[in-house]
Chains A and B, each alone.
Chain A
């Protein structure tokens, strides 16, 4: 479903992604873990082309995202309309929720349905309400984001992405900005999504979630995927010293 082949990306002289290969199959849940600054968020943002990659190929359902064939064999940036069409099928959840503060929870979810899916106001509101119900926030439909807790805001953001009926979902550290006791409610929603067969690519520091929900873990360090396999193997039998060191540090920090 998502196929990355030799995807590279630099910010100026700093190379963030170095020829990354990764594939995520239909209904698969893949967690990207690794130290900060390793390039995992950049990698995720390349998948819906919020961050343009420089070289390599990134296919979604067999279609290259971000670029199209140009004249004389080269490639050029994809037409904005074509990129928008592809993005409609890719849901994204951000670390800082990125809700629109001047709209209620319901409007945040209904807005893309109206503007992008061109639904009538009534239909959009009904579908938005169904999505809010699904994330357990029907009672907060009329609340503005500023009146919601971080966990509630993130669930609204998930509902907003889901309402578009995407074929896959990207999560960029969805619980990193939350108070520890609010993390659970967001992870619960994500777990139920995974159980329903949603294809998910998740950047996270929640090792427990990764261990229990992910089908595969990809460990990224200095712009390279240095280990990629089932959670049990990556977490307990990784041949890579860098992975073992990272997990040891994590383990030490979280034991008391």
Chain B
């Protein structure tokens, strides 16, 4: 392999990396917000709404991300949704992620021990105070490991965006490989970039996890 070649393509690789990070961060943020909203709406137990939510989750978990992305980018204009490749990519990633995050938050709420909710009821706390002060912290703490896991998966799902010509890292690497006919160098460079991103996310994740669970360390004893 030649370092010269990688060096030559460094600017486009770096800009691709920047676009990858942007799409990952924006898509994840959208997915977290939407997923959380879905999980909250679901707790209202309104039958037609719950049916809709279940259908949404089935749709986005049950079909390949690639297909969803095509439908949004290529099929979007026919329903008046004309988006740039990057915007479509972020929207697609966000919707896809939201289906998973909604389930993660639902499991988080289910993990809050019923006794803690009963304690709130026994002192006469309102349902909204109980939600904000008791259930939310417990649910979020329980959900942290699964959230970090999903964020890591999403870093790697961004490669799919290259298919709809989002100029992210995979796209730049493919261009480099095609122009130089050296697949190995390009892919090696790509692997390093993704490894950096995943490593950063997982380190940050375990830090957050350690912090939020610090005071639960001996809970098993109770």
Q: List residues of chain A with CB under 8 Å of any chain B CB.
A: 48, 50, 80, 84-88, 90-92, 94, 96-102, 111-112, 115-116, 144-147, 150, 153, 157, 160-161, 164, 177
Contact = CB atoms under 8 A, between A and B. Distances in A.
Contact of B215 (A111, A146, A153): A146
Interface of B: 113, 115-116, 118-127, 129, 133-134, 137-138, 141, 215-219, 221-222
A88 B123 contact: yes
Contacts of B219: 101, 145-146
Contact of B222 (A87, A91, A150): A150
B115 A94 contact: yes
A101 B119 CA distance: 12
A101 B138 contact: yes
Contacts of B141: 102
22 contacts: A84-B124, A87-B122, A87-B124, A91-B123, A92-B122, A97-B222, A98-B113, A98-B116, A98-B118, A100-B134, A101-B138, A101-B216, A112-B124, A112-B125, A116-B123, A116-B129, A146-B221, A150-B221, A157-B119, A164-B123, A164-B124, A177-B222
Nearest to A153: B222
A111 B133 contact: yes
Given A98-B118, A102-B215, A111-B133, A88 B222 contact: no
Contacts of B124: 84-88, 112, 116, 164
Nearest to A116: B124
Contacts of B133: 100, 111, 115
A117 B145 CA distance: 36
Contacts, number: 87
A87 B218 contact: no
A214 to B, nearest CB: 22
Contacts of A94: 115, 118-119
A146 B216 contact: yes
B121 A87 contact: yes
Contacts of A100: 116, 119-120, 133-134, 137-138
Contacts of B215: 101-102, 144-147
A146 B129 contact: no
Interface centre among A87, A96, A98, A161 (most CB of B within 10 A): A98
B222 A115 contact: no
Contacts of B121: 50, 87
Given A99-B116, A153-B222, 7 more contacts: A87-B122, A97-B222, A98-B116, A112-B123, A146-B219, A157-B119, A161-B123
Contact of B119 (A80, A86, A99): A99
A94 B129 CA distance: 21
A220 B18 CA distance: 70
A242 to B, nearest CB: 31
Contacts of A164: 123-124
B143 to A, nearest CB: 13
Given A94-B115, A102-B138, A146 B122 contact: no
A112 B121 CA distance: 10
A87 B115 contact: no
Contacts of A92: 119, 122
A146 B221 CA distance: 8
B216 A87 contact: no
A97 B222 CA distance: 9
B136 to A, nearest CB: 10
Contacts of B221: 146, 150
A97 B119 CA distance: 9
Contacts of A85: 124
Contacts of B218: 146-147
A226 B175 CA distance: 85
Nearest to B114: A98
Nearest to B141: A102
A50 B222 contact: no
A50 B116 contact: no
Contacts of A48: 122
A88 B123 CA distance: 5
